[in-house]
Amino acid sequence: MIAASTTVVAVIGDPVRHSLSPVMHNAAFAHAGLDWAMVALPVRAGDGAAAVGAARTMGLAGLAVTMPHKADVAAAADHRDATVQRLGVANTVVFDGGAATAYTTDGDGLVDAMVSAGHDPAGARVLIVGAGGAARSIVEAMTRRGARAVTVANRTLSRAEECAACAVADASVSAIGLDDMGDVVAEVD
């Protein structure tokens, strides 16, 4: 049950109705005995920065951010972690003392899950399909954590090239269109 004392966080996106984030987070909050709740808030494209201000005003503790708001939210935050500063996208905002701090956890979250499952990308050849905000973070994390080669495949080649440019370490990084993926799939680890 939500009460006046409940700490509220939200996931924002357009669309966001399909998001399972509230279900997963609310189950985790209940399991941990926390008086917290997550709600899904539809925020129209272009209104991500306004949503940060509104969330701050309403006293939300934080935001989980999905498309198309990752860049707008990163720009609207008062503070940004180093990865957000490099990439210009964020998927998490934490409000503390009225200040909004933006983080991006997509890349390290994926790599950590892979490592936990026994698939360390260090030295590996990796294919990333898609070039949205999460993909930028994944390219950054994969290269920072030792992937030998990263290929970004996307419907729009220019977007794949922009995403590939997010590499931060000495790795072979390339961008291709989706039609060229067949040759690469056979070569990835």
User: Catalytic positions, please?
Assistant: 70
Do the Cβ atoms of 71 and 50 come closer than 8 Å? no
Q: Which SS3 state, helix, strand or coil, does residue 151 take? A: strand
- Report d(CA 39, CA 113) in Å as an integer: 25
* 62-65 and 172-177 strand pairing: unpaired
Residues 6+ apart with CB under 8 A from 103: 81, 83, 84, 90, 91, 92, 93, 94
